Amino acid sequence: MTSNETLRSLPLPPGTFGFPLIGETLSFLRDADFNDKRQNKYGLVYKTNILGQRTVMISGSEANRFLFTHDNSYFSATWPYSTRTLLGPQSLATQSGDEHTSRRRLMVQAFLPKAIAGYLPGMEQLTDRYLKQWETPGEMTWYPLLRTYMFDIASSLLIGTETGSETAYLSQIFKTWCEGLFSIPLNLPWTQFGKALRCRTLLLEKIEELLHRRQQETEFRNDALGFLLAAKDEEGNGLTIEELKDQVLLLLFAGHETLTSSLCSFCLLLAQHPQVITKLREEQQKVGFTGTLTMEMLKEMTYLEQVIKEVLRLVPPVGGGFRRVVKSCEFNDYQIPEGWMVLYQINQTHKDISIYPNPQEFDPDRFSLDRTEEKQKAFGFIPFGGGARECVGKAFAMLVLRVFGTHLVHSYDWELLPDQNLELVTVPTPSPRDGLQVKFSRRR
């Protein structure tokens, strides 16, 4: 434990705050090498000013361990003002302390193994339907289609909406809402933030309508909302409608934005590495997959799991996580002052050469039993974060990736069309600049 006096005598991390007011926000949002450039200059811990907050950027497995083991003592959950406002005051992602612990306990009910197994048949059906739809155009820009598919999966399996016009309407307003999450928080009719705020109101109206409808139903429905409506805390109290609205919004957001990005990376990386597709097909033959999955079969597909992990390592959908410093502390001989923000970095952790040799290379075998590179250091593989705030939907996410991956590889061929920009846009989640243009066909 460092005394207050010793703390105050420590230097602040190196780095600059950039311009008055906007700080270094524009480069942070637009420059994919923002962090690499500063890390080369200042090291693994440096200061900056982004999204209206003085922020310490920390990187590496030691930094992750420090942050995850001090969540709720030195740090509390926060997000930049724009994200916080759009998520709402009663969202798990912005709750902290005892409130967070008790709400999290209710939310995890929807992601326990029994619940997860119940999502499998519906997920397979929807996946099959979308894959068949994509056969007809032959050539397509895949990212927006993957987003619609993922939104359909999230809204029908998490909150039980009927697929069709209801989902299409929600998906459209969700897109504008998402675009405001990491924007400059200026609420004007033409700014990204202003438009996103109006979409939040529309989304909450829609969710409230749905909640009232569901409350009238007498039979339990096997979706995440069914579990949330039934969940009770230690005193026997359920979630109020006001809180449910924010929590459902969070699930819909977390449940489709990150997954669209990882599905897209999966499709891109496999198109660039056909030998991986061949190995996946061999594994499918070995476990006897012919068109319908069981949870047991998925458990046996260990190479598929390696491939998915490598996709999430190389292109993590969430680049990092914000915390507010609630008590000044010391890390790596620097002072981290109360009131600032800290951003831990998943992206950088996954490129650490002391854990992953040739970190830029796509190599699923690094997760094989005889290599297990991710186990070199604790908190060295953190696509889903860690500690008290580790992703609640991790098992759901892995199920979607496994189901989609299996059906796609089993029945389809796809190749990248020439002359497209595959460089990644990184905010809010990574996706290829031209949206991933492919030729798509059913295997003969």
Our finding on whether 254 is near ligand HEM (CB under 6 A) is yes
Return the range that interacts with ligand HEM (CB under 6 A); candidates 13-21, 183-191, 256-264, 273-281: 256-264
Our finding on whether 262 is near ligand HEM (CB under 6 A) is yes
Return the range that interacts with ligand HEM (CB under 6 A); candidates 114-122, 135-143, 379-387, 436-444: 379-387
The one among 15, 255, 405, 428 contacting ligand HEM by CB under 6 A: 255
Binding mask 318-357 for ligand HEM (x = CB under 6 A): x--x------------------------------------
**CB nearer to ligand HEM: pick between 195 and 386:** 386
We find the least distance from the C-beta atom of residue 230 to ligand HEM, in angstroms, to be 17
**CB nearer to ligand HEM: pick between 329 and 400:** 400
Our finding on whether 391 is near ligand HEM (CB under 6 A) is yes
We find the least distance from the C-beta atom of residue 386 to ligand HEM, in angstroms, to be 7
**CB nearer to ligand HEM: pick between 127 and 195:** 127
The one among 317, 380, 432, 435 contacting ligand HEM by CB under 6 A: 317
Residues 188-247 that bind ligand HEM (CB under 6 A): none
Return the range that interacts with ligand HEM (CB under 6 A); candidates 232-240, 270-278, 280-288, 384-392: 384-392
**CB nearer to ligand HEM: pick between 344 and 356:** 344
Q: Can you give the length of the chain in residues? A: 444
Q: What is the 3-state secondary structure (H, E, C) of the chain?
A: CCCHHHHHHCCCCCECCCECCCECHHHHHHCCCHHHHHHHHHCCEEEEEECCEEEEEECCHHHHHHHHHCECCCEEECCCHHHHHHHCCCCCCCCCHHHHHHHHHHHHHHHCHHHHHHHHHHHHHHHHHHHHHHHCCCEEEHHHHHHHHHHHHHHHHHHCCCCCHHHHHHHHHHHHHHHCCCCCCCCCCCCHHHHHHHHHHHHHHHHHHHHHHHHHCCCCCCCHHHHHHHCCCCCCCCCCHHHHHHHHHHHHHHHHHHHHHHHHHHHHHHHHCHHHHHHHHHHHHHHCCCCCCCHHHHHHCHHHHHHHHHHHHHCCCCCEEEEEECCCEEECCEEECCCCEEEEEHHHHCCCCCCCCCCCCCCHHHHCCCCCHHHCCCCCCCCCCCHHHCCCCHHHHHHHHHHHHHHHHHHEEEEECCCCCCCEECCCCCEECCCCEEEEEECC
Site size toward ligand HEM (CB under 6 A) is 23
**Which residue is nearest to ligand HEM, using beta carbons?**
393
**CB nearer to ligand HEM: pick between 321 and 380:** 321
Question: Between β-strands 139-141 and 53-58, what pairing exists: parallel, antiparallel or unpaired?
Answer: unpaired
Our finding on whether 116 is near ligand HEM (CB under 6 A) is no
We find the least distance from the C-beta atom of residue 63 to ligand HEM, in angstroms, to be 13
Residues 128-187 that bind ligand HEM (CB under 6 A): 158
Residues 60-99 that bind ligand HEM (CB under 6 A): 92-93
Interface residues toward ligand HEM, by CB under 6 A: 92-93, 104, 158, 250-251, 254-255, 258-259, 262, 317-318, 321, 383-385, 389, 391-393, 396-397
